[in-house]
Amino acid sequence: MPELPEVETTVNGIKPWLENKRIQKINVYNPSLRWAIPDDLPEKYLTQKITSISRRAKYILIHLETKATLILHLGMSGSLMIINNETPLAKHDHFEMIMDDGTILRFNDPRRFGCVLDSQDFKNHKLIYKLGPEPLLPDFDGQYLKKKSLNKTQAVKNFIMDGHIVVGVGNIYASESLFIAGIHPNKPAGKVSLAKYKQLALVIKQVLAQAIQSGGTTLKDFINADGKPGYFAQELKVYGRKDLPCVNCGKKILQKTIGQRSTFYCSLCQK
Ligand SMILES: [Zn+2]
């Protein structure tokens, strides 16, 4: 599943190909995504200029000169490609936007959990306005986590994966961050100390920043016809390492389901 670092890399990858260009044509091949692509979307934004492209949580925001915004999500299996008109349509290509210089942004999504929506006021869009802070920005820190966790009995892993608390901390990043910060994933969120939350916030920032950095090489793929960004091969310290020795202490890594998600941890290093 594309996580925040893949989405960030996708945004960085498509930006130079689309910004300051005008939309010549929009083709919808299959509107039935997680939410249907609005019927009027293909006609509505013709000839409009793309002024900028940004990211909020895992939403890709394509801002237009009229202040309207296209909101794209890659869902479980989606990807965006920058191609030209010589690239034949592939299975699961659902949407494309052709720019005035012939550049095409094409959206492929085998499982169709992604979306392509539009908004005249994206900040107040129902998918956007309730989102918690961005993990890489300064307002996300240990103090903030401590404040939000007061009296909370839910497992700290579920707490940091809740998009109302902080966006973009997926299952793998949650396991990895809690391991590095030495916090047991099942510990009640309200029982984690301020010092530990300070450490955890820093670790989350580092883990995500590292993944974004390692994704730098996939940016090159965007100029290829098959320019799909591969999901980043991470060097994982704990995730997926059930029964293997802990990299810190050598004890066997345990696997447990917390909040219906597979969780990996070391019972000696994480308290
Ligand atoms: Zn250990």
Q: How confident is the model at residue 221 (pLDDT cuts 50, 70, 90)?
A: very low
Q: Which residues on neighbouring strands pair with residue 106, listed in sequence order? A: 81, 96
CA-to-CA separations, 244 to 208, 239, 253, in angstroms, rounded:
24, 11, 6
What stretch of H or E contains 99? Answer: strand 93-99
Checking if the pLDDT of 148 tops 80, the result is: yes
Residue 145 CA to residue 4 CA, distance in Å, equals: 19
Q: Are 107 and 69 in contact (CB under 8 A)?
A: no
Q: Are 42 and 31 in contact (CB under 8 A)?
A: no
Average pLDDT value for residue range 81-94:
91
Residue 232 CA to residue 219 CA, distance in Å, equals: 12
Which tokens sit at 44?
């509505």
Neighbours of ion ligand 1 (CB under 5 A): 246, 248-249, 251, 266, 268-269
Share of the chain above pLDDT 70, in %: 93
CATH architecture assignment, domain 4-124: Alpha-Beta Barrel (3.20)
Checking if the pLDDT of 223 tops 70, the result is: no
* Residue numbers annotated as active site: 2-3, 58, 261
User: What distance in angstroms lies between residue 241's CA and the mean position of ligand 1's atoms?
Assistant: 12
SS3 150: coil
pTM of the predicted protein model:
0.90
User: What distance in angstroms lies between residue 179's CA and the mean position of ligand 1's atoms?
Assistant: 9
Which tokens sit at 250?
């050598």
Average pLDDT value for residue range 116-126:
97
Q: Return all residues near 102 (Cβ < 8 A) that are at least 6 apart.
A: 84, 85
Lowest mean pLDDT of 83-87, 153-157, 202-206, 258-262, name the range. Answer: 83-87
pLDDT at position 224 is: 36
User: What distance in angstroms lies between residue 249's CA and the mean position of ligand 1's atoms?
Assistant: 4
Over the chain, what is the mean pLDDT?
91
User: Domain map of the chain by residue range?
Assistant: 4-124, 142-265
Instruction: Kindly report the backbone phi and psi dihedral angles of residue 28, in degrees, each rounded to the nearest multiple of 5, phi listed first.
Output: -110, 120
User: What distance in angstroms lies between residue 150's CA and the mean position of ligand 1's atoms?
Assistant: 28
Average pLDDT value for residue range 79-85:
89
Average pLDDT value for residue range 108-134:
96
Among candidates 118, 99, 107, which has minimal Cα distance to 21? 99
User: What distance in angstroms lies between residue 64's CA and the mean position of ligand 1's atoms?
Assistant: 50
Query: CATH 3.50.50.60: does it fit domain 142-265?
Result: no
pLDDT at position 236 is: 86
